[in-house]
Amino acid sequence: MKNLLFATGLFVTFTGAILTAQSTRVTADIPFDFQMGKTWMPAGEYSFQRQSGVLTIRAADGKHAAMTLTSPASRHDVSQTPVVQFNRYGDTYFLSGLYDADSRDGFAVPASGKQRELARRMPTTDTTVIALSRK
């Protein structure tokens, strides 16, 4: 019985350490209003945290927050710092993904219905990239 309790304790300890290591929290000052899915977010400082495929965004002032599922993504360019990427249609920005430093790897945020509709109507998309910092 003692061995079972000891083994269970070790399992819980190591599983917690692994799950904590998979969580990444970064911050950025976003100079424009944007949308993540159906949620409108005003310009300001935000923290971005991804854990187990779920992205959580929180405004530094605590007034705005949103969550969404993400999927793996890759990009053409490699940045020396982690970045958050937005797609712009007219004067509307949509969060499209976050990417790791010195890598093409990152994760994408699913496009909302409004974003897909604007993409159909506007033939070109501008991409804006903002550096993230770890805090």
pLDDT, one tens digit per residue, over 36-57 is 988 999 999 999 999 989 999 9
Task: Provide the pLDDT for residue 76.
Answer: 83
pLDDT, one tens digit per residue, over 111-131 is 999 999 999 998 788 999 999
pLDDT, one tens digit per residue, over 91-113 is 999 999 999 888 889 999 999 99
Tokens encoding 68: 């969404």
Task: Provide the pLDDT for residue 22.
Answer: 53
Cβ atoms of residues 85 and 74 within 8 Å: no
> Whole-model pTM?
0.79
Q: How many domains does the chain have?
A: 1
> Does residue 128 lie within any of the structural domains?
yes
What is the DSSP-derived secondary structure letter of residue 124?
Answer: -
> Does residue 19 lie within any of the structural domains?
no
> Does residue 2 lie within any of the structural domains?
no
> Does residue 89 lie within any of the structural domains?
yes
